[in-house]
């Protein structure tokens, strides 16, 4: 059971093709939505953070608008995901469950990456000791992986590191259920005391992967860091993406350092936030968070024939 992406969630909530196409044109022209439309989109986006995209959870929300019923469905599916590894023996099943259960707490940590020694709390353990378990979670679509790279230039896959990765849950609704339970106000009211950074990063990861991107990240204390990197095959360059749900979305010294590094050949970068207006600062474009639904990893059809 694979989740609906945000655009599919909009259709399920009654938005039609005309409305979504109009927003897509605004995105393509890097234009802002008007205030009422922006407010509507932010309301639906926050509801998507709570409900997620699991079809049964979405149907429950549309029929009853009751968070407890939605959470019950999410919890049942979460338990199924964690327990279902039928082709493996009991020892491997326990390791798979442990890796899966660690994902939310890993996401709340500063580095967010998986630490092999924490899986069984055993020193000396490496990623190679859990290759089957990682492969199962990722290939089954239960967990989304973001690979570390050592050299953030196109094509990114050339410098991937096998021993560093981040894992995200495949459904943001499951994540908010684990983090906040039935407290819908934590998400809907954008509470200052609640850091939604990991939640926003999770939904961005699921959107990008659903739209055909392979995700990478880069973290270098001296040279900068970014939440996500994707390949842009049209410009033959890597594109950094930062997710900033807070009021200080324009503060990103690490991204600035990264973009200014001439060795990386960065041509454009994006910062996604709650802000309505689309603005530019050098190579960096600031977009409202819901515009992530229009990122598509598709080739330029004009250049397919040779």
CA distance 256 to 249: 13
pLDDT for residue 185 is more than 90: yes
Question: Please, what is the angle between helix 197-210 and helix 35-51, to 10°?
Answer: 90
**pLDDT score for 162:** 64
CA 24 remoteness from chain centre = 20
The total number of residues shown for the chain amounts to 306
Report the C-alpha gap between 284 and 287 in whole angstroms: 10
User: For residue 299, what pLDDT is reported?
Assistant: 66
Regarding beta strands 269-273 and 284-288, do their DSSP bridges make them parallel or antiparallel, or are they unpaired? parallel
301 or 123, which is more confident: 123
The label of the residue with tokens 């200052």 reads 192
pLDDT tens for each residue of 98-109 = 999 999 999 887
| Across 200-209, 221-230, 244-253, least confident range | 221-230
Q: 265 CB contacts (<8 Å, ≥6 apart)?
A: 153, 154, 237, 238
For residues 134 and 128, what is the distance between their CA atoms, to the nearest angstrom? 10
Q: Span 212-217, mean pLDDT?
A: 96
DSSP string covering 241-296: EEE--STTTT--HHHHHHHH-GGG----EEEEES--S-EEETTEEEEEGGGGGG--
Instruction: Give 236-289 pLDDT, tens digit per residue.
Output: 999 999 999 988 999 998 899 899 999 999 999 999 999 999 999 999 999 999
Per-residue pLDDT at 113: 85
- pLDDT at 154 (0 to 100): 96
Over residues 34-91, the pLDDT tens digits come to 999 999 999 999 999 999 999 999 999 999 999 999 999 999 999 999 888 767 788 8
How do 216-220 and 224-232 pair as beta strands? antiparallel
CA-based max dimension of the chain: 56
Q: What is the pLDDT of residue 194?
A: 85
CA distance 262 to 255: 13
* Rounded average pLDDT over 195-210: 96
Statement: residue 12 has pLDDT above 80? yes
pLDDT at 191: 76
Give residue for tokens 């992986």.
145
- What is the average pLDDT across 16-25? 98
Q: What is the structure's pLDDT at 110?
A: 74
DSSP 149-186: ESS-SSSGGGGEEEEEEEEEES-HHHHHHHHHTT-THH
């Amino acid at each position: 059971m694979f989740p609906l992406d945000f655009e599919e969630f909009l259709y399920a909530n009654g938005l039609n093709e005309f409305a979504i196409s109009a927003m897509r044109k605004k995105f393509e022209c890097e234009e802002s939505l008007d205030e009422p439309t922006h407010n509507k989109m932010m309301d639906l986006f926050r509801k998507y953070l709570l409900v997620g995209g699991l079809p049964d959870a979405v149907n429950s929300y549309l029929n009853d608008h009751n968070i407890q019923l939605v959470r019950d469905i999410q919890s049942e599916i979460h338990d199924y995901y964690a327990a279902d590894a039928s082709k493996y023996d009991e020892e491997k099943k326990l390791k798979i469950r442990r890796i899966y259960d660690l994902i939310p707490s890993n996401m709340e940590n500063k580095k967010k990456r998986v630490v092999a020694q924490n899986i069984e709390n055993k020193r000396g353990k490496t990623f190679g000791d859990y290759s089957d378990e990682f492969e199962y979670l990722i290939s089954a679509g239960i967990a989304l992986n973001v690979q570390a790279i050592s050299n953030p230039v196109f094509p990114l896959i050339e410098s991937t590191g096998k021993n560093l990765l981040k894992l995200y849950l495949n459904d943001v609704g499951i994540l908010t259920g684990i983090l906040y339970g039935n407290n819908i106000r934590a998400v809907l009211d954008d509470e200052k005391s609640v850091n939604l950074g990991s939640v926003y990063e999770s939904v961005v990861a699921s959107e990008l992967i659903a739209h055909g991107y392979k995700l990478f990240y880069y973290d270098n204390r001296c040279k900068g860091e970014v939440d996500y990197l994707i390949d842009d095959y049209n410009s033959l360059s890597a594109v950094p993406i930062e997710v900033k749900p807070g009021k200080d979305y324009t503060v990103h010294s690490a991204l600035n350092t990264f973009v200014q590094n001439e060795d990386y050949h960065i041509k454009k970068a994006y910062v996604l936030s709650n802000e309505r207006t689309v603005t530019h600062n050098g190579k960096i474009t600031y977009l409202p968070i819901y515009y992530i639904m229009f990122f598509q990893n598709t080739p330029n059809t004009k250049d397919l024939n040779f």
